[in-house]
Amino acid sequence: MSAVASAEIRFHHGSLVIPAGAVHTTPLGYDRDSVPIGAPLPLAASAELVHRLSGCGELVVAFEGKLGDTLLALSGVRAVLDWLRLRSVRVPVRVVGPYAGLIARAGLITRPPATTPSRWRAVIGDRTGVEAHGSEAAASVVLDPAGPPCWSSDGRAHPDLPARHYLALERRLGIRLPDTAPFASALATGPNKLVEELRTVGWLGGLTIAAITATSWPARKDYTAQRYIALAEHIAEAQQAQARLLLIGGNPADGLHITAEAPRSHVQVLRLDGMPADSLVDLFPHCHLVIGNDTGLTHLAAMSRGRDGSSRPVIGLYARHSHSKWRTGLPHHHAVATDLSDRMHQGDLCPVRDVIAPDTNVHMNAFPPAALAQVGLELLNGVRQ
Tell me if 23 is assigned to some domain. no
pLDDT of residue 26: 98
Domains in the chain, number: 2
Tell me if 183 is assigned to some domain. no
Tell me if 24 is assigned to some domain. no
> Which of residues 142, 173, 204 is at a domain's end?
173
What are the beta bridge partners of residue 152? 27, 157
Q: What is the CATH number of the domain that holds 206?
A: 3.40.50.2000
Among residues 151, 179, 188, 158, the alpha carbon closest in space to that of 85 is found at 179
Measured CA to CA, the distance from residue 142 to residue 69 in angstroms comes to 12
Measured CA to CA, the distance from residue 131 to residue 267 in angstroms comes to 47
What are the beta bridge partners of residue 243? 207, 267
Identify the domain containing residue 38 by its residue range. Answer: 31-173
pTM of the entire predicted model: 0.94
Judge if 204 and 232 occupy the same domain.
yes
> Which of residues 133, 150, 173 is at a domain's end?
173
Tell me if 137 is assigned to some domain. yes
Burial class from Cβ neighbours inside 10 Å (0-12, 13-18, 19+) for residue 224 reads: middle
- pLDDT tens per residue, range 130-155: 999 988 888 999 999 999 999 999 99
Tell me if 19 is assigned to some domain. no
Judge if 212 and 361 occupy the same domain.
yes
Judge if 200 and 147 occupy the same domain.
no
Task: Decide: 202 and 270 in contact? Cβ < 8 Å.
Answer: no
Judge if 209 and 235 occupy the same domain.
yes
Pairing of strands 9-12, 2-4: antiparallel
Measured CA to CA, the distance from residue 277 to residue 130 in angstroms comes to 22
* CB neighbour list of residue 302: distance below 8 Å, 6 or more residues apart: 184, 290, 311, 314, 316, 327, 328, 330, 332, 333
pLDDT of residue 23: 98
* CB neighbour list of residue 309: distance below 8 Å, 6 or more residues apart: 186
Residues of the chain with pLDDT under 70: 1-7, 110-119, 216-220, 252-253, 359-362, 385
DSSP letter assigned to residue 39:
P
DSSP 159-225: -SHHHHHHHHHHHHHTB--S--SS-PPPB-----HHHHHHHHTTTTSSEEEEEE---S-HHHH---H
The count of other CB atoms within 10 Å of the CB of residue 255 is 10
> Which of residues 115, 147, 173 is at a domain's end?
173
Among residues 160, 161, 171, 182, the alpha carbon closest in space to that of 83 is found at 171
- pLDDT tens per residue, range 230-283: 999 999 999 999 999 999 998 766 789 999 988 888 999 999 999 999 999 999
Task: Decide: 303 and 182 in contact? Cβ < 8 Å.
Answer: no
pLDDT of residue 80: 97
Judge if 56 and 133 occupy the same domain.
yes
Tell me if 342 is assigned to some domain. yes
The count of other CB atoms within 10 Å of the CB of residue 1 is 9
pLDDT of residue 120: 82
Measured CA to CA, the distance from residue 121 to residue 138 in angstroms comes to 6
Tell me if 20 is assigned to some domain. no
Please name the helix (run of DSSP H) or strand (run of DSSP E) that holds residue 292, with its range, or none. Answer: strand 289-293
Judge if 238 and 128 occupy the same domain.
no
Region of 202 on the Ramachandran plot (φ > 0 left; ψ -120 to 50 alpha; else beta): left
Task: Decide: 172 and 28 in contact? Cβ < 8 Å.
Answer: no
Tell me if 117 is assigned to some domain. yes
Measured CA to CA, the distance from residue 336 to residue 321 in angstroms comes to 12
The count of other CB atoms within 10 Å of the CB of residue 326 is 26
* CB neighbour list of residue 256: distance below 8 Å, 6 or more residues apart: 272, 273, 274, 275, 276
Judge if 49 and 152 occupy the same domain.
yes
Judge if 130 and 225 occupy the same domain.
no
pLDDT of residue 118: 55
Judge if 221 and 162 occupy the same domain.
no
The count of other CB atoms within 10 Å of the CB of residue 24 is 15
Structure-derived torsion over alpha carbons of residues 222, 381, 181, 75, reported in degrees to the nearest 10: 40
Judge if 199 and 297 occupy the same domain.
yes
The average confidence (pLDDT) of the chain is: 91
Judge if 151 and 284 occupy the same domain.
no
Judge if 161 and 219 occupy the same domain.
no
